[in-house]
Structure 1
Amino acid sequence: MEKKYQIFISSTYEDLKEEREQAIKAVLEMGHIPVGMEMFSAADEEQWKLIARQIEATDYYIIIIGHRYGSETEDGISYTEKEYDYAVSCGVPTLGFVIDDEAPWPKTKIDSAARKKKKIESFKSKVKGKLVHFWSAKEDLHGKISISLIKAINTNPRVGWKRADVEIGADVVKELSRLSSENSTLRSEIAKLKAASEEAADEVRDVVNIMHSNRKILQIRKTSKWENAEKHKTQLLDIFLSIAPNLINENSSTEIANNIALSYVGTPYFKPWPIGRNIVSGLIADYVALDAIEPSKKKHSVHDKESYWSLTKLGKQVLKRARRIQLEEGLPTDDEENS
């Protein structure tokens, strides 16, 4: 009676979805049992314990690596690398499949951030410390995984699974394949929602970092004379936080200038332009470039010559995260400081 082996298939998800399908297909056609992280929610510690138990019960571990490092835990390690490290620590035989660096690959599926690139290259080096296979397209994986599994099973047989009474026949394998396909569809939908949430979180983090790293010097006048204007060294992020609350609905360019002045010098300040009109236009252009604000969609009188702006969906997320940090850490907000 042949054994059935549990095969854990690990990789980043969205960029290697089709490659995972090839791996699952190869495992099922060999009559074994594929298991993957997409069946669980690794964001929750209790769910990670469930994944860890599955890895502990796994006979062979397959890792497929492309050009993305993937979403990370609070410790800064990707869930994929965390799974791999745990499999190695448990003594589970690992089969590595790393994409050929010369293989054509969509730019949308390649990490562009330097930090991510460094981490994925380090992870590849770790996996290459053992015997690995290189692949160029999804079609390569089916055959290479099948051959590698056959060799691993012959050279390093594991405990596996056996029915106590009857052999697992072709009908059972077929039903297993059908159920796996059905479950895969549901898991795919869950993974899409999770990926969208993680992508949004990464985008907010990137925008916050860009704003924080851009230094600005503002000249703010309390009288009509620019030579008496006060200079304030600040960051694009701090300026954004001073104007964003009033952009949740909309605000004019003139009022944006006044909100900045109120935040930095309090009252009184010179109206209507305590900050140079060109400076305000430049700041607005920066925030538009970061997709944090956009022209207001509300209608105004044809006689109203003002320009109106409001927060984008991303801008609201940036404001939400910053305000929450201020509230959790008990830091004063601009409206509290100027009340």
Structure 2
Amino acid sequence: MEKRYQVFISSTFTDLQDERAKVQQAIMEMDCIPAGMEVFPAIDEEQFEFIKKVIDDCDYYILIIGGRYGSLSDAGVSYTEMEYEYAVNKGLKVMAFLHNDPNSLPVKKTEQVTGSKKKLAAFREKVASGRLVKAWSVANELPGLVALSLSKTIKTYPTIGWIRGDSAADPALYKELSSLRKENQELKEAAAKRSADVYAVDNIAGLDEVVTIKGFGGWYESESAVSWTASLSWAQLFKIASPYIPNSESEQTLSGYIADGAQIFSNKASTKYDSNYLANESKQLLRIQFKALGLIKLSSMNKDIHWSLTPKGEAEMTNLLVVRKAELTNVT
């Protein structure tokens, strides 16, 4: 049963809007649900009560600290620090990302009042005590840092998460659906045959032609993701991806399998990353090319893109992966 995790993003707002947007995108690409105070950029005591209810519904908590301490409550504590304290008291796993040199930020993104500067320094020290934090310098570093930290935290500290209400249906309904699928299978296969070669594109690259793809990898203890490139034929890429497609994996999950396999095929497997994924442009390129070649069909499930093999794709997968007589002597 597919599960998603909700992640609260906490930070000051006006000075970190670009950073928040990039972190939200990274969280969504990991099939998680971002939550935060975008609906209340100017927060007060009453709205903070609502924010606490949002935090109650979250599985993990991300804190981004730049050069501002933030708006103060009546108690003289910033709402960002209040959110942090509330999340810690609730027992949420906290991932903190602190700017490594707040003094280098533009004036409009830093505190100018001595009292707020001291409170920011104290808050940073509190957050860094007793937990590992990641340092960042520019907004573009945050997506990779967040993806690595969140992936490790989910794996190490899995929580309840969220599932769609209709995913927990009565088993009898599943049985009925299975029967309907079986009855409709022949119609689906016939439709797939008719649609497999509908893309009559001039001069389309064949499976033997080579393409260069880009990806990112990193280690859990590292503070940044490392970009890499690999040049493979379309056939090699389809050989890597096709065995995983029948498992109904999401495109984001397939991205990790393809990234790992691409490094092996391109003799770059000596570098083994804890987290590995394709760049968005490469992921989209593979999706479009394989579809244009009539090898895959696309569908949407819970807002995720899923691939499935066409009859042509199944035949090509078999052709690429089957063991032939000449290869039997090498099979152990």
TM-score, structure 2 as length reference: 0.49
Which of 1 and 2 has greater Rg?
1
